[in-house]
């Protein structure tokens, strides 16, 4: 059973402290991170997967998760923070249920990024960096998705699409409720 100790702002599971600064690291996630670490000689190599584990459960990675991850991996918080900052698919602020990443790198820029971005903004009523009022979509720019021969490309959650025409958007977005 998971317990919360308000005085210390920490959580414990069978006597094991799993969280710091109010962030509650799920015991299954901590176990998954330890399993990841066991695959590498250097624990830092598990940072990205550990961050993905937290993001899968919470939708994003709050600041308070960084020291909690670092403690489980046995690395310094700066190592985890460095990876979290560098990797654009790790979200450091709350996002909507679905994240739309629109590629603004060179190939997609030349094949219609701006028209696609504008159509998305009009369809959703938000600009890049914003989330719809109903929390359904967050719209973000991203560097190359590796689908350069199919630009303009975008990614919704884990799905990459391209080339995406303006007329494709209503049906495409309909699939993400």
Nearest of 74, 73, 79, 65 to residue 19 by alpha carbon: 65
Nearest of 135, 130, 139 to residue 169 by alpha carbon: 139
Among 33, 69, 70, 108, binds ligand FES (CB under 6 A): 108
Site for ligand FES in 135-174 (CB under 6 A): 144-148, 151, 153
Which range of residues in 39-47, 49-57, 102-110, 131-139 is near ligand FES by CB under 6 A?
102-110
CB of residue 144 to ligand FES, shortest distance in Å: 3
Toward ligand FES, which CB reaches closer, 60 or 161? 161
Structure tokens at 147: 């689908």
Nearest of 90, 100, 172, 167 to residue 136 by alpha carbon: 100
DSSP bridge partners of 99: 138
Among 73, 84, 100, 103, binds ligand FES (CB under 6 A): 103
Sequence-distant (≥ 6) Cβ neighbours of residue 58 within 8 angstroms: 65
Toward ligand FES, which CB reaches closer, 78 or 143? 143
CB of residue 15 to ligand FES, shortest distance in Å: 48
CB of residue 16 to ligand FES, shortest distance in Å: 43
Toward ligand FES, which CB reaches closer, 53 or 153? 153
Which range of residues in 22-30, 31-39, 83-91, 106-114 is near ligand FES by CB under 6 A?
106-114
CB of residue 104 to ligand FES, shortest distance in Å: 8
Structure tokens at 64: 């308070």
Residue-by-residue DSSP string for 3-55: EEETTTTEEEETTEE--BTTB---HHHHHHHHHHHTT-SSGGGGHHHHHHHHH
Nearest of 126, 81, 63 to residue 100 by alpha carbon: 126
**Rule CB under 6 A: which residues touch ligand FES?**
103, 105-108, 144-148, 151, 153
């Amino acid at each position: 059973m998971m317990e919360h100790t308000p005085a210390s702002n920490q959580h414990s599971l069978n006597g094991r402290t799993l969280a710091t600064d109010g962030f509650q690291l799920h015991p299954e996630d901590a176990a998954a991170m330890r399993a990841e670490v066991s695959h590498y000689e250097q624990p830092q190599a598990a940072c990205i997967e550990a961050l993905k584990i937290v993001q899968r459960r919470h939708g994003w990675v709050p600041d308070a998760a960084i020291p909690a991850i670092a403690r489980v991996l046995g690395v310094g918080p700066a190592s985890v923070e460095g990876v979290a900052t560098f990797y654009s698919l790790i979200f450091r602020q709350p996002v909507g249920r679905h994240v739309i990443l629109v590629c603004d790198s060179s190939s997609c820029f030349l094949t219609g990024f701006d028209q696609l971005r504008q159509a998305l903004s009009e369809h959703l009523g938000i600009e890049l960096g914003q989330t719809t009022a109903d929390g359904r979509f967050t719209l973000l720019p991203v560097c190359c998705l590796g689908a350069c021969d199919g630009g303009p490309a975008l990614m919704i959650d884990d799905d990459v699409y391209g080339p995406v025409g303006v007329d494709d958007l209503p049906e495409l977005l309909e699939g993400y409720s």
